[in-house]
Amino acid sequence: MLLIAACSPSPRAQNGLTPMPELEELGEGELRIAMDNYLISSKSPLNSQYEYAFVDLDNNGRRDALVLMKLPYTHWCGWSGCPLLVFRANIDDFSFISRSENIRGPIFVAQTVSNGLRDIVIRASGTNTPDRNVFLSFDGQNYTSNALAAPQYHITPSTETMDKLFR
């Protein structure tokens, strides 16, 4: 009797298939672990401070993480801004995929996609460069590494066309 009951279709089964369990969203705890690993591997101060935002960059239903480094300022930042780290959300953890330098807010994520990941639009400014909006595109391995060398984005970023993440 038990064998028959175990083989009978469950009420959740549809068309003979049992649905997969829903994936749980990764959050601050998993990001903190990924950041600790990054700080150790890059020999950076373990007391570093940063801002972060979760956004689905590859349209797979899992929110990836963008991390804007802040402190200690002399370690991370310069006249032209601070590094932006990008982490991909896996099933149960985050993995580092890219670092871009000279980033200042505001930071937007565009609806446009380059090599499978959404473009990131930021304000580039520095000592010898005019202020302008630029976009960081993914080349299949990394996002643009230096925002000051990124191509200009000619449309004014707005919250109607992009997700605003950092001020």
Count other Cβ atoms within 10 Å, centred on residue 68.
Answer: 22
What pLDDT shows up at residue 32?
A: 95
Asked if residues 106 and 164 have their Cβ atoms less than 8 Å apart, the reply is: yes
pLDDT in tens, 115-158: 999 999 988 876 677 788 888 999 999 999 988 888 887 766 55
pLDDT in tens, 59-101: 898 999 999 999 999 899 988 889 999 999 998 999 999 999 9
Q: Which residues contact 16 (CB under 8 A, 6 or more apart)?
A: 9
Taking the CA of residue 77 as centre, how many other CA atoms within 13 Å lie in the half-sphere pointing to its CB?
16
Cα angle 88-91-96, degrees, rounded to a multiple of 5: 25
What pLDDT shows up at residue 131?
A: 81
